[in-house]
Amino acid sequence: MPAADRQPRIIALDAMGGDHGPEVVVPGAALSLERHPDIQFLLFGDEARIKAALARHPALAARSTVHHSASTIASDDKPSQAVRRGKGSSLWLAIEAVQKGEAEVVVSAGNTGALMAISKLLLRPIAEIERPAIAALWPTIDAECIVLDVGANIGASPSQLCEFALMGAAMARALFHVERPSVGLLNVGVEEIKGNEDVKQAHAILKEIADLPIDYRGFVEGDQIGQGVVDVVVVEGFAGNIALKTAEGTAKQIGIYLKDALGRSMWSRLGAFLAQGGFRVLKKKMDPRRVNGGLFLGLNGISIKSHGGTDALGFASAIDLGYDMAESGLLARLAADIAAFHGRLAAAKAS
Amino acid sequence: MPAADRQPRIIALDAMGGDHGPEVVVPGAALSLERHPDIQFLLFGDEARIKAALARHPALAARSTVHHSASTIASDDKPSQAVRRGKGSSLWLAIEAVQKGEAEVVVSAGNTGALMAISKLLLRPIAEIERPAIAALWPTIDAECIVLDVGANIGASPSQLCEFALMGAAMARALFHVERPSVGLLNVGVEEIKGNEDVKQAHAILKEIADLPIDYRGFVEGDQIGQGVVDVVVVEGFAGNIALKTAEGTAKQIGIYLKDALGRSMWSRLGAFLAQGGFRVLKKKMDPRRVNGGLFLGLNGISIKSHGGTDALGFASAIDLGYDMAESGLLARLAADIAAFHGRLAAAKAS
């Protein structure tokens, strides 16, 4: 349906978050608005800096409201400090807009711990969800998959791992348009005897409870994430964060090898020049800005973390992710799935 | 000193291990012998197959003794089965040769779980070491580092993590010829408040106990492993195994991207042809056979696991690793370091 016929999607932005503040957030919002003309933005932060940035983007300015805030949360503030003293900061106000129903989505490139702590405090977990998780998009050979938890928590109980499976599946349904997303549990082997107790018990539950809205495929190993063998990879946050950062580090490392190898001789440099079309494809494929944005899943509201050091293109990807999540009606569906899961888990335990 | 003046290094090989058995093990041994003419090999397995393979390598045949074994451990046998029924198999006999002092090193490309279980049973952990670990060589931008545990155990207590630090340092000293190797604990952040309790307590111990033969550098994150920020990265086996496999998978994935990107147009293909010298350098740098071999550390003997699917070049790397470890006098030094550590830990607790 044409954008004029529908309610706008309202997205709250912490304009001061990240390494560059409004100078990246505002052009990022402008890019995302080109792709989604039905967005309206609430921008929180230093009014003068935001308005100066908006002056270069009149179309965005026409669909934005600026809410001044004089205080910001620093990137090295502890989450507990941020919760105690962060009231009134740009991040706090942006999250509060979602709490009050004034916006559907909040996006920040600021302090991850503070975003998580304040989001949890103001938005509260969905009923029966024990712990929210951070879900990341992970590039695979042909497309993308979702990996969670990449660092919201350390450790996860069997039922928390099952909740992560349902949360990741809700996100996959929204992004990949597949009704029963395939789900795997990350483990150190694919045999049933492998892994720690939490993972083994989660495996037993997911195998036993029928009628879950997922296609559970059992264990997957670290090298299968990027192969795209499943839509959703579930892991507790310690190993998940290490896996994500190790993959990012390896990609960067190989980029350095490649540059070094191709700069070694005249023939290599000439060849690299002729092949630059191919390298552009490769660069695009490996561009971390393309899949920027961690979704803080399991709350009554959509809270998105952008990389702190990203540029406008990357920040726009994070906004796009929030837009897609809001479009999909993810939260209502997830709440129903979680309630059904706990009902079946209780029935399975009783029988 | 010339090879003739010294004792030979005796290395026991499970000739039946891996996907190809003697057809890879024997040419692998021949390659390693070219680099280390003082090795003598004990080859365990099917005598007819081994001798047929040796016939093509007379120099190796002259420095090898073949010990026939009619039974082998299958790659899908469970470790417990292997321990109960594996006696007399090629793997068992090769490990037993180290137990009896007939060889210093055992190398197998066979069943990892069986190699670990039988090695642990026959060679026993070094006094005061609670659990052995598997250490892997990890390619970094400029060289290599050591990561352990990559999967011998699930989870590790604080004092076990400290033992891993000393075990990895002993290996680094042997391989990188640095007296006080730098050591980092793998974590989800570099701040002291991050991570699980085991990692935080291990950090506190390593910071507090002075005079350890390591240069302890604190926490490192997943993306820093490949940057080579430390010689040794310590992590419990669940997250360590996931990190290792994720890195391997990412490297393979980027190789596929690269091939695909360079095959897209005539110019790209021509460019790739001209740059083939550079790509050869890259391929060599990323060749998994170059750093093949996981060292099973913490036992009274040197036990090495080669990748099961490797070729002769890869198997030779695994033998070379065992040779370097034997040369270095690793085990005596490690036993002394571990005893000193536990003495200091007890003193620190008492004070």
Query: Are B144 and B137 spatial neighbours (Cβ–Cβ below 8 Å)?
Result: yes
Of B140, B154, B269, nearest to A195 by CB-CB distance is: B154
**Structure confidence at residue A76 (pLDDT):** 85
Give me the sign of the Cα torsion angle B294, B296, B301, B304.
Answer: negative
Tens of pLDDT, residues B323-348: 999 998 888 889 889 999 999 888 88
Query: Are B188 and A241 spatial neighbours (Cβ–Cβ below 8 Å)?
Result: yes
Residue B81 token pair: 């089965």
Residues 6+ apart with CB under 8 A from A47: A66, A68
Cβ distance B225 to A246 less than 8 Å, yes or no, reads yes
Identify all chain B residues contacting A80, using CB atoms and an 8 Å cutoff.
Answer: none
Task: Output Rg (C-alpha) for chain A, integer angstroms.
Answer: 21
Query: Model confidence at B1, in pLDDT bands (50, 70, 90)?
Result: very low
Instruction: Give the type of residue at B193.
Output: I
Query: Are B154 and A236 spatial neighbours (Cβ–Cβ below 8 Å)?
Result: no
Residues 6+ apart with CB under 8 A from B28: B311, B312, B313, B314, B315, B316, B318, B319
Phi, psi of A216 (to 5 degrees): -80, 125
What are the angstrom distances between the C-alpha of A345 and each of A336, A338, A340, B124?
A: 14, 10, 9, 44
Identify all chain B residues contacting A235, using CB atoms and an 8 Å cutoff.
Answer: 242
Cβ distance B188 to A238 less than 8 Å, yes or no, reads yes
- Is A243 an interface residue toward B (CB < 8 Å)? yes
DSSP letter, residue A162: H
Phi, psi of B321 (to 5 degrees): -60, -45
Cβ distance B222 to A239 less than 8 Å, yes or no, reads no
- Is B239 an interface residue toward A (CB < 8 Å)? yes
Q: Does A233 score more than 80 pLDDT?
A: yes
Cβ pairs bridging A and B (under 8 Å): 205
Query: In angstroms, rounded to a whole number, what is the distance separating the alpha carbons of residues B25 and B45?
Result: 11
Query: In angstroms, rounded to a whole number, what is the distance separating the alpha carbons of residues B320 and A236?
Result: 37
What are the angstrom distances between the C-alpha of B273 and each of A3, A226, A266, A282, B260?
A: 50, 28, 13, 17, 14
Alpha-helical (H) ranges within chain B are 22-35, 47-54, 58-62, 79-85, 90-99, 112-123, 158-176, 197-208, 222-225, 237-262, 266-274, 276-286, 312-327, 330-350
Cβ distance A222 to B276 less than 8 Å, yes or no, reads no
Write the ipTM: 0.85
Residues 6+ apart with CB under 8 A from B13: B25, B29, B41, B42, B43, B44, B94, B106, B107, B108, B319
Query: Are B148 and B244 spatial neighbours (Cβ–Cβ below 8 Å)?
Result: no
* Chain A CA closest to residue B286: A254
Q: Does A262 score more than 90 pLDDT?
A: no
- Is A265 an interface residue toward B (CB < 8 Å)? yes
Residue A87 token pair: 């009231």
Q: Which of A226-235, A286-295, B145-154, B235-244 has the lowest mean pLDDT?
A: A286-295
DSSP string, B257-294: HHHHHHTSSHHHHHHHHHTHHHHHHHHHHH-TTTT--E
- Is B275 an interface residue toward A (CB < 8 Å)? yes
Average pLDDT, chain B: 90
Distance from CA of B144 to the nearest CA of A (A): 12
Cβ distance A252 to B223 less than 8 Å, yes or no, reads yes
Buried b / exposed e over B51-69, threshold 16 CB at 10 Å, is: bebbeebeebbebbebbeb
Of A224, A251, A275, nearest to B272 by CB-CB distance is: A275
Q: Does B227 score more than 70 pLDDT?
A: yes
Neighbours of B277 (CB within 10 A): 16
3-state secondary structure (DSSP) of residue B86: coil
pTM for the full predicted model: 0.88
Tens of pLDDT, residues A284-341: 766 666 667 789 999 999 999 998 888 999 999 999 999 999 998 888 889 989 999 9
Best of A75, A196, A238 to substitute, by most chain B Cβ atoms within 10 angstroms, is: A238
3-state secondary structure (DSSP) of residue A18: coil
- Sheet-wide strand order for A182-186: A64-68, A39-45, A9-14, A105-108, A302-305, A294-297, A133-139, A144-148, A232-234, A182-186, A215-220
Of A227, A252, A264, nearest to B278 by CB-CB distance is: A264
Tell me which of A333 and B286 has the higher pLDDT. Answer: A333
Q: Does A1 score more than 50 pLDDT?
A: no
Best of A145, A190, A250, A264 to substitute, by most chain B Cβ atoms within 10 angstroms, is: A250
Cβ distance A246 to B246 less than 8 Å, yes or no, reads yes
What are the angstrom distances between the C-alpha of A157 and each of A183, A201, B338?
A: 17, 9, 34
What are the angstrom distances between the C-alpha of A138 and each of A153, A303, B40, B96?
A: 19, 18, 48, 45
Tens of pLDDT, residues A156-183: 999 999 999 999 999 999 889 999 999 9
DSSP string, B125-184: BPTT----EEEEEEE-SSSEEEEE-SSSSS---HHHHHHHHHHHHHHHHHHH--SS-EEE
Best of A78, A196, A223, A269 to substitute, by most chain B Cβ atoms within 10 angstroms, is: A223
Best of B81, B147, B188 to substitute, by most chain A Cβ atoms within 10 angstroms, is: B188
**Structure confidence at residue A3 (pLDDT):** 47
**Structure confidence at residue B5 (pLDDT):** 57
**Region of residue B13 (phi > 0: left; psi between -120 and 50: alpha; otherwise: beta):** beta
Residue ranges of A 70-89 with Cβ closer than 8 A to chain B: 78
User: Residue B218: which of B242, B193, B243 has the closest Cα?
Assistant: B193
**Structure confidence at residue B29 (pLDDT):** 97
Distance from CA of A147 to the nearest CA of B (A): 12
